[in-house]
């Protein structure tokens, strides 16, 4: 194999990031996005801190007790990267949920959490189950404020949005897993390329 061809092959292997095309992001506008009633939005924003804390606690308790101590600690984002990224992700998801459901941003915030869980000891369903926990947390927080009937009607809007987020989460998870598999394939290909190059040079 000519020398330039070897160089080209190496260059292609380096440039081919094999990042899959971005998940088909549901853009606001593809289907009409029902607006959250202002009163509910205000209520949820007031309770944002408690909701995020509770939601985060649920996430942390998916890990063993000793790990929960670290995740909940106030250590820096570098000493506790899993806890920090999870917290930042949850915060971002919640904010986007209440605003325009900016799905590109939603993708980024979901990725902060799911990319970690995709390589940990979580099954696919457990990795994205945290999305649905938000429904439980919101219901628990608002139960005392709103009557049963009112809550059901208004929460339907929020929970529809959470379901949409879960669909995006599924795509994010798949993308992460496919990246792992592609990395593995490319590692094996790299080993083959090296062997091929050694054989070529020996000719």
Partner 1 sequence: MAKTPKRDQLLSIDYNPPKTGWMDTPVDFKPGTWCYPGKAESLEIIDFPNPRKWSPEDEDWKLPENWKQIIFDGLRERLERFRSLKLFMDICVRCGACADKCHFFIGSGDPKNMPVLRAELLRSVYRKEYTTAGKIMGKMVGARDLTEDVIKEWFYYFFQCTECRRCSVYCPYGIDTAEITMIGRELLNLIGCNTDWVITPVANCYMKGNHLGIQPHGLVDSMDFLVENIEDLTEIKIDPSWNRKGAEILYVPPSGDLFADPGTFGIMGQLMVMHEIGLDYTLSTYASEGGNFGSFASMEMAKRLNAKIYAEAKRLGVKWILGGECGHMWRVVHQYMDTMNGPADFLEVPVSPITGTKFENTKSTKLVHITEFTSDLLYHNKLKLDPSRNDELKVTYHDSCNPSRAMGLLEEPRYILKHVCNNFYEMPDDTIREHTFCCGGGAGLGSDENMEMRMRGGFPRANAVNYVHEKHGVNMLSCVCAIDRATLPPLMRYWNPQVDVCSVHELVGNALVMEGEKKRTENLRFEPLGTEEDDDE
- Catalog residues that contact partner 1 under the rule CB under 8 A: 3, 6-7, 10-11, 13-15, 17-19, 58, 61-67, 70-71, 73, 75-82, 85, 115-116, 119-121, 126, 129, 133, 136, 176, 179-180, 183-184, 186-188, 190, 194, 197-198, 201-202
CB of 173 to partner 1, least distance (A): 13
User: Using CA atoms, how far apart are residues 101 and 93, in angstroms rounded to an integer?
Assistant: 9
Q: Which is nearer to partner 1, 30 or 148 (CB)?
A: 148
CB of 163 to partner 1, least distance (A): 14
CB of 79 to partner 1, least distance (A): 6
The residue assigned the tokens 């990725």 is 111
DSSP H helices in 61-147: 65-72, 81-98, 103-117, 124-128, 130-142
The residue assigned the tokens 């820096």 is 76
CB of 33 to partner 1, least distance (A): 26
Say what angle helices 130-142 and 81-98 make with each other, to 10 degrees.
60
Determine the distance from the C-alpha atom of residue 84 to the mean position of all C-alpha atoms in its chain, rounded to a whole number.
14
CB of 112 to partner 1, least distance (A): 10
The residue assigned the tokens 């040079």 is 201
Q: Which is nearer to partner 1, 45 or 143 (CB)?
A: 143
Q: Which is nearer to partner 1, 41 or 139 (CB)?
A: 139
- List, as one string, the DSSP characters of 31-59: B--PPPPHHHHHHHHHTHHHHHHHHHHHH
Q: Which is nearer to partner 1, 53 or 67 (CB)?
A: 67
Q: Which is nearer to partner 1, 88 or 95 (CB)?
A: 88
């Amino acid at each position: 194999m000519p020398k330039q061809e070897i160089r080209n092959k190496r260059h292609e292997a380096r440039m081919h990031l094999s990042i899959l095309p971005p998940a088909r992001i549901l853009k606001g506008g593809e289907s009409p996005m029902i607006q959250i009633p202002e009163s509910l939005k205000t209520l949820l924003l007031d309770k944002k801190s408690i909701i995020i804390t509770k939601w985060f606690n649920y996430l942390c308790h998916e890990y063993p007790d000793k790990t929960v101590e670290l995740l909940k600690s106030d250590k820096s984002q570098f000493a506790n990267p899993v806890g920090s990224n999870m917290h930042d992700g949850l915060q971002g998801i919640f904010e986007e949920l209440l605003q325009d459901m900016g799905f590109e941003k939603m993708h980024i915030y979901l990725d902060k959490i799911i990319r970690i869980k995709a390589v940990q000891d979580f099954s696919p369903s457990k990795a994205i189950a945290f999305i649905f926990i938000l429904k439980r947390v919101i219901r628990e927080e608002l139960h005392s404020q709103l009557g049963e009937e009112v809550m059901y009607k208004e929460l339907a809007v929020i929970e529809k949005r959470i379901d949409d987020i879960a669909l995006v989460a599924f795509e994010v998870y798949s993308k992460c897993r496919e990246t792992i598999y592609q990395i593995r394939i490319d590692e094996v290909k790299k080993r083959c390329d090296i062997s091929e190059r050694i054989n070529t040079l020996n000719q």
